Structure 1
Amino acid sequence: MAERCPSMTERFIGSSAGLMTVHRKKHFDSGTIREEEVVAWLSKQPPTSDDGKPPQAGLRLVCKSQTKIMWCYLDGSILKGIKKVLGLPENHAYLLAPKPGACGIYSATDGQPVFIYHRLDNHRTVSIVFRYDTLSNITTGYVLHGKRVSVGDIIGAIEAQFPSFGHPLLLPTIVVELVAASLFSGLVQIHNELANVEGKTGFSTWANAPDSEMTEGYHQLARQLGSLNCHFAFVNNTVRSMLFMAAFTLKQLELMGEYHASPERYRQVESLGNSRRLKQRVELVESHLRQLETFDAIRDRMQAQQNVLFNLISQQDNSLNIEIAAASKRDSSSMKVIAILTTLFLPATFLSTLFAMPLFDWTAPRISEVTGSYFWLYWAIVAPLTLLVMGFVGAYIWYQSRRNEQADRRARGNAKEKTV
């Protein structure tokens, strides 16, 4: 079965220190790579110099992108071939865990060390699995990278540094340095976006007043803070993982002498690989990662802004509720006017309907005779009855408003007593 793979690369140092005798890369950007190709690439004999001498140090890698979270990254047949080349027993699933974020070392069937750095479930980390042949001083393995650290960055650093650091642990050192730089960039981005939110809310050490012309609502800022929280969680988790990776690399630098057959051979390899300077690099990047841990204060700032936004949203909702209440009060006043008008005309309508009084005679020959003789009786009854009804309604409204005022005063008094 075919498996997509970006590239394979190798680099060797010749018999003269610093002389690069071989540097080859093979890309598969538009094709596929098969088990036979992987096995042949990783297990082929190293090149020799013009005088037939083997290289003093070498590095041969298969590099592949692993973009899907917690997804098995290689075909089973290719994994089987890689384990065979690395010298791992076939009855152990050393390479099957997709992204557990573990570091370890195994002894191959011939006793050579196999270093395993498994990546976490985020795109900044990198998996490295490689075998170090202490007899030939050649490192062989593969690299799985995410979106944030590209294979071009890794291979470019190897091309520039391997002639000066022909050490098997150069590869994890480069990876930790690249990931640390990516982490710092991510933390700066989070800080800048958080400062932008603080400027809009007006609650920070450098923002004294909120932005008067906000183009985003508080709900949008709250969603932005939620996204920043998730981003920061991934970054913070990766910082701790890289610290573990750096500590493991430092430990293996100290133990490297135990993997060689003789102290003389170890001193020769140590001189070629610049072990002391490589250790200083790892210690420096470890210190850098520990400094990145101090960015944990961003979490408190985000939580403070989250609380501020929730309070502002609550105040905004309260203002909206007050506006709705005022609108309801205006509608209620309009309904009162309608009710008063209805009450005003109710007595007259009632009497006209009840008695069917003929107030006008439209068949009269003269206009002066149109009004009936009992028209005055209508007004004599309607006017007092209307005043009586309106007085009763007005008294009821006054009484009800007094009761409401007393209830409001009691409620305010109870609230003050509870706060005290």
Structure 2
Amino acid sequence: MTFSDDTLQVIMSRLQLPAAFAQMLAPDQIEPPRFSHNTLFDTHGNYLGMALAIHFHRWRLESITLGLSYNQNTKVTTALLLENSKDPTHESFIHYILLQSTYLTHPLFLPLILAELMLDTHRTQLDRTTSRLRSLESAIGIHDHDYNSASSPSYRTPDKSPLPDFPFISRSLNGESTRLALYEVKVRSNIHLLQTILRGPYFTTLLPMNRRMIWTEQANIALREKCEFLLGWNVELSSRVTGQRRIVKIQIGSVQNLLMQRESKITTSVMEARKGDANAIKTIAFLLMAFLPGAYIAVLFSGSMFDWQAERVGGVLSEWFWLYWAITGPLTAGVLGTWIWWCKPWM
């Protein structure tokens, strides 16, 4: 639920949480990254535990913040959930830097701050890529809804929408694949940087005793925890990048399958049109084969088969007209039979 600052202070005192935990959860003091981490010490400078705050965006005007505090002495973890916390601002980031003024002169403080900012930038870029991939997935038509099951709560008949813009989708998927490859290189570089920092002399026993100072002991503990914390987030981000690259490959394969299906439909329609043309040509050829022999015979014997001297009321066909049918019939049947034997249309 949502708390005011006064109520939050009462809760913190009742739960006996450290002041750093309250500062992290205050709405106007959350650092720009969506998470914040503090190492806790008691009044004598002894290591006490750690505090963690994670900022989740749920809606455009609503968000939640989860705070966790671990006490190493009591082995107790306390969690507190706040709703409707404000978005971080540049002033909150400056305030966050000032809260850690003890570590400002530490040689590794600036590299860790830069690694933290790079991590948040990469997370934002990956979130945008994920959103664009979901839009492309919707445009392609890849989904996990079961349209065939009437018992499904989301059952509906899919709309007959036009074919997607495959050239645009292909260019977009290729661009996202390139960006994900670049993100993977950046995240791995950040992981390598943090691993190198952890192996450095300030976080190991390699630093000579004469170069150690009492004030740096607490800073080394706090910054080492922060470095391990950032390393874990980068490993998680690297896994997300790998997963998104697999999704892009699946979508590219789906687009290729859709293109093959569309080309198959086009080829089928062309073949059907060609089959219709072939049938028309066969019909014309059949009619010509049946008509031309008789027409040829008629031309040869037209003079003798008609009685041109007949009277006006009499018949004009000669008595030899039966010869036309005697020659035309067998000749047409022979030509047609030869064509059927040669072409074998039933095969």
Aligned pair 1:277/2:222, yes or no? Answer: yes
Comparing both chains, which one has the higher relative contact order based on Cα–Cα distances under 8 Å and sequence gaps of 6 or more? 2
For the 8 Å contact 2:190–2:234, the answer to whether it is kept is yes
1:183 aligns with 2:130: no
Cα distance in 1 between the residues matched to 2:208 and 2:342 = 95
- Give the corresponding residue for 2:18: none
Specify the alignment match of 1:161 in structure 2.
97
Q: 1:219 to 1:349 in 2, by over 3 A?
A: same
CA–CA separation in structure 1 for the residues paired with 2:164 and 2:208: 60
1:327 aligns with 2:266: no
Q: Is the 8 A contact 1:180 1:289 kept in 2?
A: yes
Residues 293 and 332 of structure 2 are in contact (CA less than 8 Å); yes or no, is this contact kept in structure 1?
A: no
The aligned length equals 244
Tell me if structure 2 keeps the 8 A contact 1:361–1:372: yes
Match of 2:256 among 287, 291, 310: 310
Deviation at 1:290, TM superposition (A): 0.9
CA contact (8 A) 2:294 2:332 kept: no
Question: Are residues 404 and 356 of structure 1, via their aligned partners in 2, closer, same or farther at CA, if it must alter by over 3 Å?
Answer: closer
Asked whether the equivalents of residues 201 and 211 of structure 1 are also in contact (C-alpha less than 8 Å), the reply is: no
Instruction: Give the Å deviation of 1:328.
Output: 0.8
Shift of 1:310: 2.9
Q: Give 1:301 deviation, angstroms.
A: 3.0
1:173 aligns with 112
In the TM superposition, what are the counterparts of 1:200-219 in structure 2 within 5 Å?
Answer: 200=139, 203-204=142-143, 206-208=144-146, 212-214=160-162, 216-218=164-166
Is 1:258 paired with 2:171?
Answer: no
Post-superposition offset of 1:358: 8.0
Q: Could you report, residue by residue, the CA deviation over 1:58-117 in whole angstroms, capped at 9, with x for unpaired residues?
A: xxxxxxxxxxxxxxxxxxxxxxxxxxxxxxxxxxxxxxxxxxxxxxxxxxxxxxxxxxxx
Write the mapping of 1:4-403 to structure 2, written as runs, cut at 5 A: 161=97, 164=101, 165-166=103-104, 167-200=106-139, 203-204=142-143, 206-208=144-146, 212-214=160-162, 216-218=164-166, 220-252=168-200, 253-254=202-203, 258=207, 262-263=211-212, 266-268=213-215, 274-295=219-240, 296-354=242-300, 357=303, 374=318, 377=320, 380-396=322-338, 398-399=340-341
How many percent of aligned residue pairs carry the same amino acid? 20
Q: TM-score, normalised by structure 2?
A: 0.55
What is the letter of the counterpart of residue 288 of structure 1?
W
- State TM-score, norm by structure 1: 0.47
C-alpha spacing 1:214/1:235, structure 2 compared with 1 (3 Å): farther
Distance 1:380 1:191, change over 3 A: farther
Report if the CA contact (8 A) 2:297-2:328 is conserved: no
| 5+ long unaligned stretches in structure 2 | 1-88, 148-157
* Bigger helix fraction: 2
Give deviations 1:362-418, integer Å, cap 9, x for gaps: 9x998658x8664x64x534444443344345435654675653xxxxxxxxxxxxx
Q: In structure 2, do the counterparts of structure 1 residues 267 and 212 end up closer, same or farther at CA, with 3 Å as the change threshold?
A: farther
Query: Take 1:395 and 1:403, find their aligned partners in 2: how far apart are those partners?
Result: 12
Q: For the residues of structure 1 that align with 2:340 and 2:235, how far apart are their CA atoms? A: 73
1:231 is paired with a residue of what secondary structure?
Answer: helix
Q: Which runs of 5+ in 1 are unaligned?
A: 1-152, 406-420
Aligned with 2:161: secondary structure?
coil
